[in-house]
Amino acid sequence: MAASAYDYEFKTIDGAPLRLTSFKDKVVLVVNTASACGLTPQYDGLEKLYSDYKDKGLVVLGVPCNQFAGQEPGTEAEIKTFCETRFNVDFPLTAKTEVKGEGAHPFYKWAEGVLGEPAVPVWNFHKVLIGKDGQALQAFGPRTEPEAPEIIAAIENAL
């Protein structure tokens, strides 16, 4: 079992390697996203969180996923354009990724191993908070808005 989130890497939405070590000493909110979901407006809250806290050391990492009712059917280029034009997303996005089940990205399997069932995404916009040391701190369900008091408190505590 990996020691921390820093042992994993994703691909960026543009196809380049994205090692989580590049976020060392930062707090990272990892969120599986979708463009055609009722919760898609959460992109606004995620971008606001990122904009409000990035200078203090927060990274929001969007992980597009098509595992929930096919709500992220587009290509990486389409997803990137949608996020940038509809929600002015400035935070990093990964390539489309599986987040649950057999094919789940190893990061998500690790998070489940550390945090248990709460770390397993049940829908789009599930959130996993990673501390500055790369440890999984807490998971938040899809309906917990990005700017909910419990998420703000957890982020501020981790910063």
Residues labelled as active-site residues:
37
Which helix (H) or strand (E) segment holds residue 58: the answer is: strand 58-64
How far is it, in rounded angstroms, from Cα 28 to Cα 56?
12
Beta strands at 17-19 and 27-33: parallel, antiparallel or unpaired: unpaired
Shortest CA distance to 32 belongs to which of 159, 101, 120?
Answer: 120
Which pair of tokens denotes residue 4?
A: 């921390």
Shortest CA distance to 143 belongs to which of 126, 157, 128?
Answer: 126
How far is it, in rounded angstroms, from Cα 137 to Cα 141?
14
